[in-house]
Structures are given as C-alpha cells and as structure tokens.
Amino acid sequence: MIRTQALSMTFRSGLRAVDGLDLTVEAGETVAFLGPNGAGKTTTMRMLATLLRPTGGRATVAGRDLLAEPREVRRRIGYVSQAGGAGLFAPLGEELLLQAMLYGMRRAEARRAVEHTLDRLGVTHLAGRLGASLSGGEKRRFDLAFGLLHRPDVLFLDEPSTGLDPGSRAALWEHVRELGVTTLLTTHYLEEAEALADRVVIISRGRIVADAAPDELRRGRTLAEAFAEAVDA
C-alpha cells in the first residue's frame, strides 16, 4: 500500500528533514513511526499525504505514483493531522455530510456513509453538536470520522492521541485497532506503538534506524531501551 525509495525532503533553509527513506507498508498493516522531535516523522507523513512535495526519491501510495498522480493519491487516503479536522462552530454531522459530497457522493449515499461512520465510532449521538462543545476524546473520534468517511485504502494518523487523558487515549486505541485499514501513524508514546502497531519504524535525523515488530525490537529489553539504542546508534 505504501512504498518509498530514497524519499527525501530538503527545505529552502538547507535543513534535510528526510534523508533517503526506504519504507514498505503492506495492505492491512498498522505501522508506527517513532522518533524524537525533529526526526522527520511528520514531514514524511505530509509528503505521503501530498501536502509537501518531496525534493528527492519516489513513492507510491495505494498503487498511485505520489509525484505523477497526487490527485489520485488523495482520493484513496484519509489524513488525520495533529491539529484535527473537526470544525468548531457548525454541527459536525453537517460537516461530515458536506465532506462526503465533496468526495463525489450523492446526497443519499453521503447520508448513509455519515450514518455508518458515526455508528462505527460510537458518536452518532454527538452529530448535532458543535466541535467547540466536545471533549478532547470526542473531537479525536470525530477527526477519525473525517479521515474514514470516504472509505480510504490508507489512513494517516499524525500523533492521534496527543493531549488526551489516559481513559480517552485507551478508548481511541480501541477504535483504531478495530478499523481494519492500512494505517501509518506517528507517535511519541512507546506504549501507543506497542498497543497498535504490527511494526515499529524508528526514525532519527531523517533516516530509518530500526524497523521490526515490537516483540522483535525488544529482544529481552523494554521498548524504551530498544528505542534509545536505535536513536543513539
């Protein structure tokens, strides 16, 4: 579902944020990007979501070329940013309906998609509420709804549980585990990567320094110890 070859991003300032990244994500996998601040996690995700144009390398997402077919990539992905997508001052059910129609669905089909997605995430009862009136955990579930509404082939989650209390974080993890969508997520939480990911990819200074299942990374140590060793290598 995702394949990159020497993917790179150098900003005008000269900062090389991503440096020759080779990554493969198979259909149905959930892969967690771990790394310190500034490691290149979000930059990589923004490139794969067509929000930043790479300065080097190539990639395919859901079978489409990232550089040659960005519009087709966007049709096939869902993206949930750190900032979130749920608006603050309109009923969220109406916002979801509008987004479904912007994806080309007729009104009746859009309504069915909205109803299905809200039910799937357990937020049907909140559809008439304004985003500004929701708790952090409720907003993040609606952010997931915006990302899943058009039934994407690939879902990008950028630090999905940042700022949530432990109870809300656990509830969000449960929803993510049940999605059944190829997922690439960035996180600072080791326990989040361990709870959600089939594979953990550790990135440091724009390069992948480890790529394995959580159990393989541990090998008799904690995931925190494996992370520290990989980053310091």
Interval 19-77: pLDDT, tens: 999 999 999 999 999 888 888 999 999 999 999 999 999 999 999 999 999 999 999 99
The structural domains of the chain, with segments of one domain joined by +, span 2-86+153-232
d(CA 120, CA 145): 9
d(CA 231, CA 137): 31
Tell me, rounded to whole angstroms, the distance of Cα 72 from its chain centroid: 18
What architecture does CATH give domain 2-86+153-232?
A: 3-Layer(aba) Sandwich (3.40)
Query: Which strands, in side-by-side order, build the sheet including 16-25?
Result: 16-25, 2-10, 56-61, 64-65
Residue 88: pLDDT band (50, 70, 90) is low
